[in-house]
Structures are given as structure tokens and as C-alpha cells.
Amino acid sequence: MRLFSLIILGITFLYLQIIWLPEIALMSIIPNIMISYYIFVCINLDYRKALTLAFVFSLITDLYYPQMLGIGMISSLLIVFLTEKYQKSIKKEKFLSVLLGVFFVNLIYFLSYYLLKFLFSVQDEYFLLKILIFFLYNTAITIVILYVLTFLSHLRLRLEI
């Protein structure tokens, strides 16, 4: 049941990522909420299932955004690998350790993504400023979503009919 609910959550996050989040873009920068989903799934499932879900959802995301085909998949699998390796610091209740863990996961994601984007596309004059804003914006959103998901997973809501 837990795997099924995480798949439904992934489909919901994917829907939000593709349909709703382009509407709240900041300087034409769309936040990536799938990063928080990958971290949450890796914390709550075993490594193989988390890797499989990250592979499937990143493949769908890469097919929808074909500009950098493959980079999203590689970086999402790297996120799951790093989260699994350093899971103890993310599972802690201390805000600073979670902040640093999410900060470094986002840093790895954006370095891999924007390094190739920098190498293979034409840049505008505000490219580095956009990267910095995108990184900070997405890190803040990832932290908020991760804490909301953690809070909701600790609630035991039961429907009695």
C-alpha cells in the first residue's frame, strides 16, 4: 500500500511539475518539485524501489522536456544515490542538517544540469544570475515540500465508513 501511495504521489507531483508550475515561474524559471519527491521516496522506500520510481518519473519528465534529454534522468538517479548514501543526515529532525543535505542535493542537480546547458546552448547576459536564483528558489521549495511530506506521512489519517 505504501508503494502504491508513493506512485500516486509521484503522478500528482509530475502533473504539478508539467501543468501547474510553469504558471508560477520566476523569471521564466520553473521550480523542480520532483527533487523533493525523489528524496522523500528514497527515505521511505528501499533503494531499488526508489531507484526504479526515480527512473520512471525522470524518463517521463525527460520526454516532456526534450531539450536536455537524459540529464534529468542521470541527475535524478544521482539524487537517489546520494540520498541513500547520506540518508542519516536527512532523516534527522534538526533543521540545519536537513537544510544542508537538501542544499547539496540541489547543488549537485543544478551543477550537472546547467553545466551541460552552458556547454551546448547560447547564453544570455544574465545566465549566472538565473542559475543562482533558480538554485535558491528551488532549494527553498524543496525544503518546504519535504517538510510538508514528512509531516503528512507522520499523520495517521484513517477513514471510517
Residue whose C-alpha is closest to residue 37's, from 141, 110, 117, 154: 141
Helices (H), 34-86: 34-44, 47-64, 71-85
Q: Which residues pair with 26 in a beta bridge?
A: 29
**What pLDDT is recorded for position 12?**
92
Helix or strand (DSSP H, E) at 154: helix 127-154
26-77, pLDDT tens digit by residue?
Answer: 777 778 888 889 988 988 888 899 999 999 998 888 888 777 677 778 888 8
Question: Domain for residue 160, yes or no?
Answer: no
How many domains does the structure of the chain reveal?
Answer: 1
The confidence band for 161, taking pLDDT boundaries of 50, 70 and 90, is: very low
Is residue 31 in some structural domain?
Answer: yes
Query: Domain containing 67: what range?
Result: 2-154
